[in-house]
Structure 1
Amino acid sequence: MRGRALRWAGRAVLGVVLVGLLVVGGTAFRVWQVARADERPAADAIVVLGAAQYHGTPSEIFQARLDKARALHDSGVADVIVTSGGRGVGDTFTEAGAGADWLAERGVPEADLVPVEQGRDTLRSLRAVADEARARGWSDVVIVSDPWHSLRARIMAEDIGLRAATSPTHSGPVVQTRETQFRYILRETAALLYYRLSKEPADQADGLGVR
């Protein structure tokens, strides 16, 4: 009897491990799959998720997102670009404000820019964007972020009530090396699983802009 019980316990543990591997592997595959897509439907707004800025100058990662949003705007995907992200501790500028200034300096009409200057992580930034969208009667958005961040951002946006497509960047520091891409996929897989379990954002990760 004891041997049979041990065998059943071993099988149960193995089953749990296999299910866990399938969940993690399936999530990682979806992060990779959505990262490769580039959706450009007509929308009410293009939403650029914020990243680091330094004294009003967007970081390389943020600039890649902003440049992609500008290209979508120029191609007619939406008339409006929403920049998102609040002010960090000790910062003078918000991410949204720095992003809007950067776009205006490169020819995007200020009337087409809507900075939403709240939120220091993806979920809270998207909640602030959703409030702005509802106030303006918008429902359809195209989210611009890094490739590996796109699935989590889309799921969060849809949970908040937006109809979201994703058009990720395919340039910038986060896609330059396979090592960086692999680290980002692992980090985003963990962050997405954490969000699905808790409905809360993961803590900001080291150097990759994952929030």
Structure 2
Amino acid sequence: MSRRRRQRTGFWGWCLRLLVLVLLWLVGVAGYIEWTGARDDAAASDVIIVLGAAAYDAKPSPVLEERLRHGIDLYRRGLAPKLLFTGGFGTGARFAESQVARRYALRQGVPEGDILIETVSRTTQQNMQQAALVMQANGLHSAILVSDPLHMARAMRLARQSGIQARVSATPTSAFRTWNTRWKFLVQEVYFFHRDLAESLL
């Protein structure tokens, strides 16, 4: 075998090894996201934070409704005395996501005094930042985070960055049921994992 051919073979061999390592890393990240979403370590806390999702005017979307149902169930089980709904106004929306959530909770019999909201946030990071401010203003320290399973890893990381002592409790059911919707959500979360990692290193 000529020297040039050996060099070419060695180059492609290194490329193959690098590709395998990248694939293993991505599978590992995806597995971590799945594992975090499968956990439920809900325990007595000061507040239950339900992360916002789309609302259709005054009606919660299926995704938001699943989160609300689970958050209210945790509240009824006595795991926290307060519910904190996050989510601001979508483009052209009359109501903030958190306002829609509060209306839903009131209809489910949750006392108004047990509901806290913020109406500013538009992203998960802002959800956590605004939730932290509301908690500080109300003397709350620990929280249970409620969202969809594949969203929990990112939500937990951002909660810690915002200074929230958080536990996770993903929705036991999700509007993202089909393989087509789940894999798209998972790919999105893998992307956000690396985007957030890159931002933290800069």
127-136 or 57-66: which moved more? Answer: 127-136
Please name the residue that 1:205 is paired with: none
Q: What is the CA–CA distance in structure 2 between the aligned matches of 1:95 and 1:144, rounded to whole Å? A: 15
User: How far apart are the structure 1 equivalents of 2:13 and 2:138?
Assistant: 55
Identity of counterpart residues, as a percentage?
A: 28
Q: Which residue of 1 aligns with 2:73?
A: 71
Distance 1:150 1:96 in 2: 19
CA shift in 2, pair 1:11/1:160, >3 Å: farther
Match of 2:56 among 50, 54, 57: 54
Q: 1:45 to 1:12 in 2, by over 3 A?
A: same
Unaligned runs of 5+ in 1: 200-211
1:164 match: secondary structure: strand
User: Using the alignment, how far apart are the partners of 1:195 and 1:64 within structure 2?
Assistant: 26
Report the equivalent of 1:208: none
- Paired residue for 1:112? 114
Q: TM-score when scaled to structure 1?
A: 0.86
Q: How many residues align?
A: 198
Structure 2 unaligned spans of 5+: none
Shift of 1:134: 2.2
1:8: Cα distance to partner? 4.6
TM-fit CA distance, 1:93: 0.4
* Counterpart residue type for residue 164 of structure 2: L
Structure 2 partner of 1:80: 82
Structure of higher CA gyration radius: 2
Deviates further, 35-44 or 129-138: 129-138
The equivalent of 2:142 in structure 1 is: 140
> How many angstroms does 1:173 deviate by?
1.9
1:40 corresponds to 2:42? yes
Task: List, as ranges, runs of 4+ consecutive aligned residues in structure 1 with deviation greater than 6 Å.
Answer: none
**How many Å separate the matches in 2 of 1:59 and 1:46?**
20
Distance (whole Å) between structure 2 residues aligned to residue 172 and residue 85 of structure 1 = 19
Output the CA distance in 2 between the equivalents of 1:10 and 1:42.
55
Please report the TM-score for the alignment, with normalisation by the length of structure 2.
0.90
Instruction: Give, in whole Å, the separation in 1 of the partners of 2:119 and 2:90.
Output: 11
| 1:136 to 1:9, Cα distance in 2 relative to 1, 3 A | farther
